Amino acid sequence: MKSRYDNEMELEFLSKSNNEAFARITVAAFAAQLDPTIEELADIKTAVSEAVTNCIIHGYESTEGLIKIKATLLKNEIEIEISDNGKGIENVELARKPLYTTKGDLERSGMGFTIMESFMDEVEIHSVLDIGTKVIMRKKIKKQEDVEENAEKNEEKNALIN
């Protein structure tokens, strides 16, 4: 019997800044199963780095806590869930805005969520004060065969129309 998911993985690690590279490289290696382009892989790495860094800097404010990543592959889509049990976000709508940051003193630019939103197809933010934050991101990998197949179909269609 085929499982509900095509593939799934979970990762849990301490909120140490040297785990930022570990997290994005691990998720990228997992995502490679979908055969993404170099650019798609770079987008995923950047988005993961943003979310994980946010857990460390804002969620736990550089104290020690656990960060969890769950990644699921379903057909040609990857879903990545990144969560902390930190301090939570007071106003999620405001936090999403470009240039909005509560840590300007640490040379943060307030572009993290903006980058996640533009590099991934969908970004959901769930947050409860003093409980934690969970970011869910999804991205469709555009397979080369699909692109070719579509082109072929379009050609057939055009042939029928003309």
Partner 1 sequence: MNSRFEKKDNVLYLEITEEIDHHTTEKVRRLMDNEITRFMPRKIVFDFSKVSFMDSAGIGLLIGRYKLIKLLGGTAEIINTNKSIAKVLEMSGILKIIPIQNKENVG
- Specify the residue, 54 or 72, whose C-beta has the smaller distance to Mg ion: 54
Residue 127 lies near partner 1 (rule: CB under 8 A): no
- Stretch of residues binding ligand ATP (CB under 6 A), selected from 11-19, 20-28, 47-55, 68-76: 47-55
Backbone φ and ψ for 120, nearest 5 degrees, come out as: -115, 165
Q: CB of 64 within 8 A of CB of 17? A: no
Per CB under 6 A, 110 contacts ligand ATP = yes
104/148 Cα distance (integer angstroms): 46
Q: Which of 40, 73, 112, 141 is close enough to bind ligand ATP by CB under 6 A?
A: 112
* Residue number with CB closer to partner 1 (14 or 128): 14
Q: How far is the CB of 87 from ligand ATP (least distance, A)?
A: 5
12 close to 66: Cβ distance less than 8 angstroms: yes
Q: What is the largest CA-CA distance in the chain?
A: 67
- Going by C-beta distance under 8 Å and a sequence separation of 6 or more, which residues neighbour residue 12? 66, 67, 68, 69
Interface residue with ligand ATP among 109, 118, 144, 154 (CB under 6 A) is 109
Q: Report if residue 120 touches ligand ATP, rule: CB under 6 A.
A: no
Can 54 be counted among the known catalytic residues? yes
